[in-house]
């Protein structure tokens, strides 16, 4: 059996302000969270998933655009005639959202535990799903304490939106301990709230799926969902599947053997081209770091306007898949010396 686990979709949330982009990319950036949602549903269909677990924060609390809810329902309806049952719990953003409070979800989508812990047995799959939604945004009680003991002869799955042992720095939403989660004894615990994918215990399948779509350089690297394979009442494998439409990342370019502006520009051009082909079809927002004393010294010896123009030209991707946010130089040391090499590209746009 296949199970897909995701969390923190934050539908409607904008990406961080980006360098002014052309129209080829602007619509992709604006729709990034919805494109990631579509990729999620495509994954469920392709893998014939029996369950889709959503561990909270489907939408942003402050978004009042009800088109967000309609798009969510539209995507979930694509699973209506498949074998996929959807189970979800409200997170802190959902608890305050007007969109969620007025949403009419399809019959195959089950919201768990709005006023108490709820356990639902999916008989044909041999699974029981335990979950508890946030009754309000400011939920600082240990909700895990309400979760029941595992049911025998079934695959026990828990869903919880929580800051386990301070998983989110300075955040105490539904706090609990990692050891508590392990001791609960479920075969799989689907967690939400931390935006970083992580299996937090080597002893048990207690997993943060991370956010579905990164929103800034604080959420760099692949983002997506967990694909779980089970046999009977045992978890066989857990695999992180990238589903993001736009990815934030760092591109490091070795320039320690380059001593001219043209040589540095050529090294940048080759690195950008290789990254563009490697990451198709998603868009990339990259922070470019030139590494090496010779190349960085060369760039610093050139006037800022001239080197910015050269870097902008060298980092331009003709396919429109990569957008360089900024360019930095790094000289190895302890600690390494880092200096910004570009002036601002120009106006920024919030998408």
Q: What is the pLDDT of residue 184?
A: 95
CA distance 136 to 158: 20
Burial of 303 (0-12, 13-18, 19+ CB in 10 A): exposed
| 60/337: higher pLDDT | 337
Q: Is the pLDDT of residue 61 over 70?
A: no
Q: Are residues 132 and 6 in the same domain?
A: yes
Using the 3D structure, point to which of 242, 264, 292 is the last residue of a domain.
Answer: 242
What burial letters (b/e) apply to 197-230, b meaning 16+ CB within 10 Å? beebeeebbbbbbbbbbbbebebeebbbbbbbeb
Enclosing domain of residue 321: 246-349
First to last CA, the chain: 38
Q: In this structure, are 169 and 80 located in the same domain?
A: yes
212-257, pLDDT tens digit by residue?
999 999 999 999 999 999 999 999 999 999 999 999 999 999 999 9
pLDDT of residue 347: 57
Same domain, 307 and 196: no
Residues 206 and 261 reside in one and the same domain: no
Residue range 132-143: mean pLDDT, rounded: 88
The answer to whether residues 142 and 269 belong to one domain is no
Tell me what pLDDT residue 160 has: 97
**For 268-295, how does the pLDDT look when each residue is reduced to its tens digit (9 = 90+)?**
999 999 998 887 778 899 999 999 999 9
pTM: 0.91
pLDDT score, position 169: 56
What pLDDT is stored for residue 20 in this prediction? 58
Q: Are residues 157 and 259 in the same domain?
A: no
Pick 156 or 24 by higher pLDDT. 156
Q: What is the mean pLDDT of the chain?
A: 90
Beta bridge partners of 284: 247, 322
**pLDDT value at position 170?**
58
Of 242, 264, 290, which one is at a domain's C-terminal end? 242
Residue 204 shares a structural domain with residue 225? yes
Alpha-carbon distance of 344 to 351, in angstroms, equals 18
Decide which of 207, 242, 277 is a domain's last residue. 242
Asked if 132 and 173 count as a contact pair (C-beta separation under 8 A), the reply is no
Closest CA to 54 of 67, 40, 34: 40
Q: What is the gyration radius of the CA atoms in the chain, in angstroms?
A: 23
Whole-number Cα distances in Å, 76 to 42, 195, 203:
11, 22, 33
H/E element, 130: strand 127-131
Residues 163 and 282 in one domain: no
Residue 22's pLDDT band (cuts 50, 70, 90): low
pLDDT of residue 336: 87
pLDDT at site 346: 62
Same domain for 311 and 217? no
CA atoms within 13 A on the CB side of 32: 28
Q: Residue 100: what pLDDT?
A: 86
Identify whether the C-beta of residue 208 lies closer than 8 Å to the C-beta of residue 167: yes
Residue 19 has pLDDT above 70, yes or no: no
* 166 pLDDT more than 80: no
């Amino acid at each position: 059996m296949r199970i897909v686990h995701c969390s923190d979709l934050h539908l409607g949330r904008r990406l961080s302000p980006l360098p002014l982009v052309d129209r080829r990319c602007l619509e992709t950036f604006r729709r990034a969270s919805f494109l990631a949602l579509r990729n999620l549903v495509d994954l469920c269909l392709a893998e014939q998933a029996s369950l889709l677990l959503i561990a909270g924060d489907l939408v942003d609390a402050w978004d009042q655009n009800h088109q967000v809810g309609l798009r969510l329902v539209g995507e979930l309806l694509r699973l209506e005639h498949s074998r996929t049952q959807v189970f979800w719990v409200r997170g802190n953003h959902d608890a305050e959202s007007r969109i969620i409070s007025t949403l009419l979800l399809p019959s195959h989508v089950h919201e768990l535990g709005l006023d108490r812990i709820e356990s639902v047995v999916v008989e044909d799959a041999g699974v029981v799903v335990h979950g508890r939604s946030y009754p309000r945004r400011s939920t600082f009680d240990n909700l895990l304490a309400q979760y029941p003991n595992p049911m025998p002869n079934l695959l026990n799955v828990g869903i919880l939106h929580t800051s386990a042992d301070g998983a989110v720095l300075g955040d105490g939403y539904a706090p609990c301990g990692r050891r508590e989660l392990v001791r609960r004894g479920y075969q799989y615990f689907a967690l939400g709230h931390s935006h970083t994918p992580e299996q937090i215990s080597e002893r048990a399948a207690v997993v943060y799926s991370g956010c579905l779509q990164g929103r800034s350089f604080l959420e760099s690297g692949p983002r997506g969902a967990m694909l779980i394979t089970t046999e009977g009442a045992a978890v066989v494998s857990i695999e992180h599947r990238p589903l993001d439409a736009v990815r934030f990342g760092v591109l490091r370019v070795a320039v320690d053997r380059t001593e001219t502006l043209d040589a540095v520009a050529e090294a940048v051009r080759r690195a950008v081209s290789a990254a563009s082909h490697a990451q198709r079809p998603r868009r990339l927002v990259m922070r470019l770091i030139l590494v090496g004393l010779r190349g960085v010294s060369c760039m610093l010896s050139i006037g800022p306007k001239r080197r910015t123009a050269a870097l902008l030209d060298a980092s331009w991707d003709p396919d429109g898949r990569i957008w360089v946010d900024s360019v930095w130089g790094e000289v190895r040391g302890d600690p390494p010396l880092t200096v910004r090499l570009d002036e601002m590209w120009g106006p920024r746009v919030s998408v």
